[in-house]
Structure 1
């Protein structure tokens, strides 16, 4: 009789562990993910709840002023660049807005607003010398070089992560 109860307990325990493992592998947490390319390094991510907007800020390598690219997650889970802010028309910076966009000059800065550039993802190389790439989320800046090796290329995308993927990665919001 005791052997039968023990076998039942083992069977229930195995079923429980299988269910926990399956649940841990299901991607549920919506996240902005920085996935290293050509590397086995850990992913860095930002869990997304209500605020689906973020910015990438960096120092331009030629004119050494800050550039801020503003993005949001669309309803179909793509990334839309909706604004660009910069301080100099030097090499690599636009001198005017594209079709349907607005060019604004305000307080010594230039803005291209109303951008509708939509990407399933984009690649970003984390600067080694001057760029100092930062992600701005919820009005706080997070230096990407703390989570991603400078000089590395990353794929920036929105996707759902499982508990296992989050456990193996680095939550940018919790690491400072």
Structure 2
């Protein structure tokens, strides 16, 4: 028969083990993952949310309104507060599409032709939030993630809506959910 002292001892070990495991998961998740959100700017409503690993690339795909050809903007989740645009590619020139390297305030882009695309490579194009006016007619803005998840903006907001997409720390999102009950 187990004594009360040894039962209390086992309970203490189990409690500390659970605390250790939960803390480890929180620290690992907090440093390796972020929560990606799309928010309707005017209503403040989060219309899409996804857990993403820091370092993950995803693509904003849309149809250019002048050329009617696809444009792909590739972003990476740089940390749990920052998205970075790393590449833009398209197969024909059109309004507001670069025709060569650009000298910007914080960087000079690289312009290459590869695999049938014109590619602009960025090294210092960082965003806390990426603003987007959702196309009404042609654009069909769609986010594409490596796991196959696709978000067609017109499925969650009306054409012409102003949205922002961004990442936030996983632990902040957990705390936020906890406060809402």
Establish whether TM, by shorter chain, passes 0.5: yes
Q: Confirm whether residue 162 of structure 1 aligns to residue 170 of structure 2.
A: no
| CA distance, structure 2, for counterparts of residue 97 and residue 124 of structure 1 | 24
Q: TM-score, normalised by structure 1?
A: 0.69
1:38 aligned to which of 31, 42, 49:
42
Q: Which residue of 2 aligns with 1:97?
A: 101
**SS of 1:46 mapped into structure 2:** strand
Of structures 1 and 2, the one with the larger relative CO (CA 8 A, separation 6+) is 1
Q: Which residue of 2 aligns with 1:70?
A: 74
Q: CA deviation at 1:106?
A: 2.2
Q: TM-score, normalised by structure 2?
A: 0.67
| CA distance, structure 2, for counterparts of residue 163 and residue 115 of structure 1 | 33
CA 1:118–1:50 in structure 2 vs 1: closer, same or farther (change >3 Å)?
closer
Computed over aligned residues only, the root mean square deviation of the Cα atoms, in angstroms, reads 2.5
Q: CA deviation at 1:76?
A: 6.1
**SS of 1:145 mapped into structure 2:** helix
| CA distance, structure 1, for counterparts of residue 174 and residue 134 of structure 2 | 26
Residue pair 1:51, 1:138 contacting (<8 A) in 2 also? no
1:17-28 correspondence to structure 2 within 5 Å: none
Q: Which residue of 2 aligns with 1:18?
A: none
2:134 aligned to which of 111, 126, 133:
126
Q: Which residue of 1 aligns with 2:61?
A: 57
Structure 2 stretches lacking a partner, 5+ long: 1-29
| CA distance, structure 2, for counterparts of residue 115 and residue 147 of structure 1 | 31
Q: CA deviation at 1:50?
A: 5.3
Give the stretch that moved more between structures: 54-63 or 75-84. Answer: 75-84
Q: CA deviation at 1:116?
A: 2.0
| CA distance, structure 2, for counterparts of residue 163 and residue 145 of structure 1 | 30
Structure 1 stretches lacking a partner, 5+ long: 1-27, 169-176
